[in-house]
Structure 1
Amino acid sequence: MTFIGRDDDLRQLEDCYRAKKAQLVFVYGRRRVGKTETLTQFSKGKETLFFAAQNATKEEQLAAFSRLMFEAGAPGKDYLQQYPSWESALTELTRLPEPSDGGRRLIIFDEFPYLAKSDPSLPSMLQNLWDHTLRRANLMIVICGSSMSFIEKELLSEKSPLYGRATGILKMNPLPYWDAVKFFPDYRAEDKALAYAILGGIPRYLEEFDPDDSLASNITRHVLRRIAPLYSEVEFLMHEELRETAKYNSVIRAIALGGTSLNEIATHAMIPNATVAAYLTNLVELGIVEREFPVTAKPKERVKGARGLYQLSDNFFRFWYSFVFPYRSELERGDAHGVYTRHVAPVLHDFAGKPFEGMCREWLWRESVAGQLPLYAKQIGRWWDRTSEIDVMAVDDSGNRVIAGECKFRTSPMDLSMLDVLRDRAARVGIEQRSYMLFSLGGFTRSLSDVANADGSGIRLVSIDELFDAG
């Protein structure tokens, strides 16, 4: 399959590779986000030693790395069967043959946390070697891992031996929607948005759908059937990353059903608040859940967290807990088509409403960076108070100008009444300089278009097709 997206990530890695000094770069992100594929793409045309660590013993890891080093021409092959220690193996990186193209030798340690788990002294050893020899060598070393908490706490924090040694830190995020939908080039815009609402920006999930098959068939065949990898994907990841998966299931299910505050989630899950708070912290670290604040919230408010709401940041987790988890009995009996027909199809557009709002916010960021908005956004997000909510809002540096937006993933066109509602809600924000954006799947009525097209209206209408233009 053609490699899709990651242009900026690849560009930044390439900048590190072209730098004059030796490089120690950390690349990390949640499982399935595409780290290995991106590093494989980056390594093309470069003399690379790519070591994919396994969950194995120190001796097994060292034996595998030794074989790789000897194949790359390390001098130790002439007198060793394998390196006696990681220190001797890593020291020999400086004795590898110089690349024939005159470039830099690229060393990639994929899933480095497995190595550190089998030998906890490895970070200290690497730090010592980096300080004394490796940082003066013609090398670019990439440390890659999926355990985000391990990378951040054990390798990058102030307490880590490697603290301050990184020459680059790249946290890989899911693909933006405009790259994610390139997996389905022939889908119409509506189905592209629905596919993204289901799968999110995780390449591994996007690859499972057949771009030549219909959306309904893809959902039925690749999510709802027991044999499908996506059917068991969430359970696999939960068991891989967490203990007490039954309780985590209850917490995530509560959020999928609409619980957003700590109290609501604890009530739905029937778990004490303090316990739920600890579970939510772990889920945030894994990139499954996010804590959201009103876009105008001050830093002090965000620290106190009184107004923060919890949301599932992973689209596929939200879909799985909405349509797979509750209907497991039917699905286990092979009734994938029935579950799709009765439970998924009737509410799929409603389900896609929240992901569609996320798409609109991503689009606003892209437009702001390109200078295509009436302001340069400092913050983009949602806004709410006790009585009303605005789907998307952009605020400039001064905090005196905003763009307020309403998003509707419905097949009927948006009319003037929606603009009136948005204006009323925006007036509650307390910022005088306001402009408006309306995002709609079903387009806009003639009367609304006429008002928006009037000179100086401060209103912009954004269709579903425009969201995918120049993506």
Structure 2
Amino acid sequence: MAFIGRRDDLELLEDCFREKRAQLVFVYGRRRVGKTETLTQFAKGKDTLFFAAQNATKEDQLASFSRLMFDAGAPGREYLSQYPTWEAALSELARLPEPSDGGRRLVIFDEFPYLAKSDPSLPSVLQNLWDHTLRHANLMIVICGSSMSFIEKELLSEKSPLYGRATGILKMTPLPYWDAVKFFPDYSVEDKALAYAILGGVPRYLEEFDPEESLEANIKRRILRRIAPLYSEVEFLLHEELRETAKYNSIIRAIALGGTSLNEIATHTMMPGATVAAYLSNLMELGIVEREFPASAKIKEHAKGARGLYRLIDNFFRFWYMFVFPYRSELERGDVNDVYERCVRPTLHDFAGLPFEGMCREWMWRESINGRLPFRARTVGRWWDRTREIDVMAVADSGDRAIVGECKFRNTPMDVPMLNLLRDRAAHIGVPDRQYYLFSLGGFTKPLIDAASAEQSDVRLLDLDDLFAVGQRA
């Protein structure tokens, strides 16, 4: 399959590569998000030293890196079998032969945390060499890693020897929906949206589905069968990144079932609120959970956390905890068809409602960035109070203009009463100048279309074709 997406990430890396001074760039993000594939794409056409670190001893790592260096023409291969230390090895980067095209050499350390784990002095060694030698060389060095907490706390924080040395920091996130659905070019727009609702924007998950098979067949074969990699993916990732996975299972399951406040999650899990908050913090670091605030909330409300709610931002985790985790006994016995027919099929569209709202908010951001909204949005999110909720809300920088939206992933068309209900809710947001956007899978009734088509209407109607068009023209 051809490489998909990451245009913005690749452009940022290319900008660094074109800089005149030496570059030390950190690229990190959660596992499976596509860092290695993106760096491989970036390295095409460049003189590149690409070292993929393994979870091995210091000696084994040095031996592998030494072979790579000697193959690249580093001096010393005639009398050395390998470098004795990382300091000796890394200092030779500046002595590698100049690229044949007269350009810059690219050096990539993939999964750098494995190297630092085998030799904790390595960040200090690299810092010393960068300060005295490597920053004057014709190099771009990329430090890549999946352990986000390690990168942020051990390499980029103030206590790290490498603090302040980075010339670029790129945190890679899952693909936006308009790129994710390119993995399924022949699916209907409805099935594309459902596939995104199930898998999210993590490339490794998207690659598991066969685009030539139906959505139903893929769910059964690629997720619900116990031999499928996605069947055990969630547990594998949690075991890799976290301890006490049983407690994390309980917390994620509570959120997947609709527990959004700290009190609701604590009640469901029967754990103290302070304990739950600590676990939630770790899940947020991994990009699995997010804390959100009403789109109109002031900064002081974010600081106090007074109205914050928790939600799963990883679509696949949400699907897994809804449809795999509770039915493990049946699935372990191979009862895939019954679980699908009884549990998945009847509720799949309802399940996709929240991811569809997320798609609409992503669309709103993209349209704002590209100047296709009535104003440049300062924030895009949800809005709620004690009794009302609005699915999508974009607020102008001035604070006196807003777009409010309702999202329905249903096969029945939206009607005028939905618009009236949205107007009633929006009357309480405290923003005087409002416009109304309605997003619908099933289209719109003629009376609603007529209302939106009226002269000086403040209503806009959008379907899935409109949402997917943003990826084609942006």
Fold shared by both chains (TM-score > 0.5): yes
> Given the alignment of the two structures, is residue 46 of structure 1 paired with residue 46 of structure 2, yes or no?
yes
Q: State the match for 1:410 in structure 2.
A: 410
For structure 2, the residue ranges without an aligned partner over 5 or more in a row are: none
SS, match of residue 469 in structure 1: helix
**1:349-405 deviation digits (Å, cap 9, x = unpaired):** 000000000000000111111111111101000000001000000001111100000
**1:240-294 deviation digits (Å, cap 9, x = unpaired):** 0011111110010000010011111111112121111111010000001000110
Letter aligned with residue 347 of structure 1:
T
Letter aligned with residue 46 of structure 1:
K
Q: State the match for 1:397 in structure 2.
A: 397
What is the CA–CA distance in structure 2 between the aligned matches of 1:108 and 1:118, rounded to whole Å?
18
What is the CA–CA distance in structure 1 between the aligned matches of 2:110 and 2:455, rounded to whole Å?
56
Matches within 5 A, 1:198-213: 198-213=198-213
Q: State the match for 2:318 in structure 1.
A: 318
> Given the alignment of the two structures, is residue 215 of structure 1 paired with residue 238 of structure 2, yes or no?
no
What is the CA–CA distance in structure 1 between the aligned matches of 2:37 and 2:138, rounded to whole Å?
24
Q: Is the 8 A contact 2:208 2:222 kept in 1?
A: yes
What is the CA–CA distance in structure 1 between the aligned matches of 2:268 and 2:280, rounded to whole Å?
14
Letter aligned with residue 311 of structure 2:
Q
SS, match of residue 449 in structure 1: helix
**1:312-332 deviation digits (Å, cap 9, x = unpaired):** 010000000000000000000
SS, match of residue 109 in structure 1: strand
What is the CA–CA distance in structure 2 between the aligned matches of 1:130 and 1:160, rounded to whole Å?
14
Shift of 1:154: 1.0
Shift of 1:149: 1.1
SS, match of residue 207 in structure 1: helix
Shift of 1:76: 2.0
**1:155-185 deviation digits (Å, cap 9, x = unpaired):** 1112211111111111101000000000000
- Larger deviation, residues 265-274 vs 124-133: 265-274
> Given the alignment of the two structures, is residue 341 of structure 1 paired with residue 335 of structure 2, yes or no?
no
Shift of 1:408: 0.3
Q: Is the 8 A contact 2:366 2:470 kept in 1?
A: no
What is the CA–CA distance in structure 1 between the aligned matches of 2:216 and 2:439, rounded to whole Å?
25
Letter aligned with residue 206 of structure 2:
L
Letter aligned with residue 79 of structure 2:
Y
Q: State the match for 1:107 in structure 2.
A: 107
Shift of 1:223: 0.2
Letter aligned with residue 282 of structure 2:
N
Q: State the match for 2:369 in structure 1.
A: 369
Q: State the match for 1:264 in structure 2.
A: 264
Matches within 5 A, 1:403-442: 403-442=403-442
Identity within the alignment, %: 79
> Given the alignment of the two structures, is residue 15 of structure 1 paired with residue 6 of structure 2, yes or no?
no
> Given the alignment of the two structures, is residue 280 of structure 1 paired with residue 280 of structure 2, yes or no?
yes
Q: State the match for 2:36 in structure 1.
A: 36
Superposition TM-score, scaled by structure 1 size? 0.99
> Given the alignment of the two structures, is residue 189 of structure 1 paired with residue 189 of structure 2, yes or no?
yes
SS, match of residue 407 in structure 1: strand
What is the CA–CA distance in structure 2 between the aligned matches of 1:211 and 1:74, rounded to whole Å?
44
Q: State the match for 1:163 in structure 2.
A: 163
What is the CA–CA distance in structure 2 between the aligned matches of 1:5 and 1:193, rounded to whole Å?
17
Q: State the match for 2:136 in structure 1.
A: 136
What is the CA–CA distance in structure 2 between the aligned matches of 1:163 and 1:402, rounded to whole Å?
40
Q: State the match for 2:123 in structure 1.
A: 123
Letter aligned with residue 376 of structure 2:
Y
Q: Is the 8 A contact 2:367 2:470 kept in 1?
A: no
SS, match of residue 49 in structure 1: strand
Matches within 5 A, 1:378-393: 378-393=378-393
Letter aligned with residue 234 of structure 1:
V
Matches within 5 A, 1:430-469: 430-469=430-469
What is the CA–CA distance in structure 2 between the aligned matches of 1:65 and 1:188, rounded to whole Å?
47
Letter aligned with residue 167 of structure 1:
T
- Larger deviation, residues 267-276 vs 327-336: 267-276
Shift of 1:470: 4.4
Superposition TM-score, scaled by structure 2 size? 0.99
> Given the alignment of the two structures, is residue 75 of structure 1 paired with residue 75 of structure 2, yes or no?
yes
> Given the alignment of the two structures, is residue 332 of structure 1 paired with residue 332 of structure 2, yes or no?
yes
Q: State the match for 1:232 in structure 2.
A: 232
Letter aligned with residue 454 of structure 1:
A
What is the CA–CA distance in structure 2 between the aligned matches of 1:114 and 1:269, rounded to whole Å?
34
Q: State the match for 2:146 in structure 1.
A: 146
SS, match of residue 381 in structure 2: strand
Q: Is the 8 A contact 2:255 2:311 kept in 1?
A: yes
Number of aligned residue pairs: 471
Q: State the match for 1:251 in structure 2.
A: 251
**1:60-102 deviation digits (Å, cap 9, x = unpaired):** 1111111111111110212111100000000000111111111
Letter aligned with residue 116 of structure 2:
A
SS, match of residue 77 in structure 2: helix
Pairwise CA RMSD: 0.7
What is the CA–CA distance in structure 2 between the aligned matches of 1:467 and 1:313, rounded to whole Å?
19
> Given the alignment of the two structures, is residue 56 of structure 1 paired with residue 26 of structure 2, yes or no?
no
What is the CA–CA distance in structure 2 between the aligned matches of 1:384 and 1:307, rounded to whole Å?
9
- Larger deviation, residues 312-321 vs 160-169: 160-169
**1:24-48 deviation digits (Å, cap 9, x = unpaired):** 0000000000000000000011111
What is the CA–CA distance in structure 2 between the aligned matches of 1:231 and 1:208, rounded to whole Å?
11
What is the CA–CA distance in structure 1 between the aligned matches of 2:282 and 2:369, rounded to whole Å?
32
What is the CA–CA distance in structure 1 between the aligned matches of 2:220 and 2:249, rounded to whole Å?
22
What is the CA–CA distance in structure 1 between the aligned matches of 2:3 and 2:34, rounded to whole Å?
10
For structure 1, the residue ranges without an aligned partner over 5 or more in a row are: none
Letter aligned with residue 164 of structure 1:
G
What is the CA–CA distance in structure 1 between the aligned matches of 2:356 and 2:424, rounded to whole Å?
22
Q: Is the 8 A contact 2:234 2:317 kept in 1?
A: yes
What is the CA–CA distance in structure 2 between the aligned matches of 1:140 and 1:277, rounded to whole Å?
40
What is the CA–CA distance in structure 2 between the aligned matches of 1:269 and 1:221, rounded to whole Å?
31
Q: State the match for 1:242 in structure 2.
A: 242
Shift of 1:126: 0.6
What is the CA–CA distance in structure 2 between the aligned matches of 1:120 and 1:300, rounded to whole Å?
39
Q: State the match for 2:87 in structure 1.
A: 87
Letter aligned with residue 141 of structure 1:
I
What is the CA–CA distance in structure 1 between the aligned matches of 2:67 and 2:256, rounded to whole Å?
47
Q: Is the 8 A contact 2:190 2:441 kept in 1?
A: yes
